[in-house]
Amino acid sequence: MPASSQVQSQLESAIESNILLGKYRLVRLLGCGSSAKVYEAQNLLAGQNVAIKSFNKYLVAKKDLFNHIKREAAILRRLRHPNIIRIHEVLASRTKIHFVLDLAMGGDLFSRIASFGRLTEHLSRRYFRQLISAVAYGHSHGIFHRDLKLENLLLDENCDLKLCDFGLAAAPDKNPVDGLFHTLCGTPAYVAPEILTQKGYRPAVADIWSCGVVLFALNAGYLPFNDTNIATLYRKIYRGEYRCPKWTSPNLKHLIGRLLDTNPDTRITVNEIFRDPWVAERIEAGEWAAMEILPEDGKVSSKAEELEVEDRELNAFDIIGLASGLDLSGLIGEMVERERFVISEVPEAVLRRVEEIGSGKGLVVKRKGKKGSAGMAVRGQNGDLVVGVEVYRLNRELTVVEVERGGAGKGSEMWAGEFWRTTPPPATFR
């Protein structure tokens, strides 16, 4: 076997044997970022293929990205739109945090254009409608993406657009009173000119500018503002210096001009985009129904308040699920002296099982309790602690369990063996 084929075979074997947390088999690496890798994976229970975005905990801590990751998880859990990537669950190991997401087999639009060139006007219109629909839906819920670009627009198996990567997004609880943001974020070629002034910007209006850059690129096959010198690039953006290619239709050229208006006060709004002749051309009733349009006054709907309320419980879960030292591998790996996990079971059922197993092994079991929690101490005949358990009710469906192990031997056997034989592995963290 040639050396290259042998290396390829070894890589494939390594991937096939890479079972993530006993639930997902990693199939192949789809892409790498500065702090995350994305894999195609198969759910071993459901047989469904998904995408897994894995963050390295060391890099997350080093770059102080924990809040970004937690915010992205919270946002994705609340946004349900056909053109926004869906998150299925958040997992983690001792060294990684994993987002389990929809798998978009078609890759991203940047790669599509880089490989095959510009899109037809008809296809550009289709993807732009889907993009604006997703962006308008997010805005109506108080969510502003702030990093709209071709690389963050994926295609699924039906060639429908899926907006992803909300790591830089702003959520309702972070919106300033005056509505102006001052954080310089986004990708240079897509950033709105008002962001460059550092005098404050409205993120909804800045998102519209980025949508204009995307539309220009879909039609032209290249970006409207591009230069190897960042200062020159920003100067072009600030002045709005671009030129549409000759094949651009008059209606499309007019729309791009409204989108790439350097004055944020006169830039086209989401509602005006939906009514634009080029966007509305040959649109079907089903497409209109899928779009969410903001009120005429442009104010965020009460859904933003709903999102904020819902996030209170979500944040509590995410703090548990994304805590440092998280280990969602159940009890597959090495046991730790103290661990916490979330389980879909009521507290009394957890304690009852511990009591039954402990008593059955001739150990001394004693219940204990304090405000907001209940617990149990399991000791040997000599009085030494074998295992201590405390349970906290998180919500109607989930219970937080904290386990303290006093030693090996019977304690390890009871907890790692007997207890989980009738219970699925939990979401564990230390």
Q: At 258, which CATH number?
A: 1.10.510.10
What does the CA dihedral 296, 299, 302, 308 come to, rounded to 10 degrees? 150
User: Mean pLDDT of all residues in the chain?
Assistant: 78
The rounded percent of the chain whose pLDDT value lies above 90 is 39
pLDDT value of position 108: 94
Q: Which of 52, 76, 102 is the last residue of a domain?
A: 102
- Which tens digits make up the pLDDT trace of 248-279? 999 999 999 999 999 999 999 999 999 999 99
Same-domain pairing of 280 and 150: yes
Most confident range, picked from 72-76, 203-207, 354-358: 203-207
Q: Whole domain around residue 128: which residue ranges?
A: 109-298
Q: Which of 44, 73, 102 is the last residue of a domain?
A: 102
Q: What is the distance between the alpha carbons of residues 41 and 26, in angstroms, rounded to a whole number? A: 4
pLDDT at 153 over 90: yes
Same-domain pairing of 85 and 113: no
pLDDT level of residue 316 (50, 70, 90 thresholds): very low
147, 276, 311, 318: which one is catalytic? 147
Among 209-223, 229-243, 325-339, 366-380, the minimum mean pLDDT is found in 325-339
Looking at the domain assignment, is residue 245 inside a domain? yes
Looking at the domain assignment, is residue 358 inside a domain? yes
Same-domain pairing of 282 and 414: no
153-181 average pLDDT score:
84
**Looking at per-residue confidence, does 425 or 47 come out higher?**
47
First to last CA, the chain: 46
The structural domain count of the chain equals 3
Helix (H, G, I), strand (E, B) or coil at 250: helix
pLDDT value of position 179: 72
Same-domain pairing of 120 and 73: no
Same-domain pairing of 208 and 290: yes
CATH of the domain at 71: 3.30.200.20
Same-domain pairing of 123 and 239: yes
Q: Which residues pair with 429 in a beta bridge?
A: 326, 340
147 flagged as catalytic:
yes
Same-domain pairing of 205 and 281: yes
Most confident range, picked from 188-192, 311-315, 378-382: 188-192
pLDDT level of residue 304 (50, 70, 90 thresholds): very low
Q: What is the distance between the alpha carbons of residues 384 and 41, in angstroms, rounded to a whole number? A: 45
Same-domain pairing of 180 and 98: no
Looking at the domain assignment, is residue 332 inside a domain? no
Q: What is the distance between the alpha carbons of residues 302 and 289, in angstroms, rounded to a whole number? A: 20
- Which tens digits make up the pLDDT trace of 49-86? 999 999 988 888 877 788 788 888 889 988 989 999 99
Range list of H helices, 221-292: 230-239, 250-259, 270-275, 277-280, 285-290
Same-domain pairing of 46 and 146: no
pLDDT at 322 over 60: no
pLDDT at 327 over 50: no
Same-domain pairing of 271 and 358: no
Same-domain pairing of 122 and 255: yes
pLDDT level of residue 315 (50, 70, 90 thresholds): very low
**Looking at per-residue confidence, does 402 or 14 come out higher?**
402
Q: Which of 80, 102, 124 is the last residue of a domain?
A: 102
pLDDT at 124 over 70: yes
**Looking at per-residue confidence, does 303 or 88 come out higher?**
88
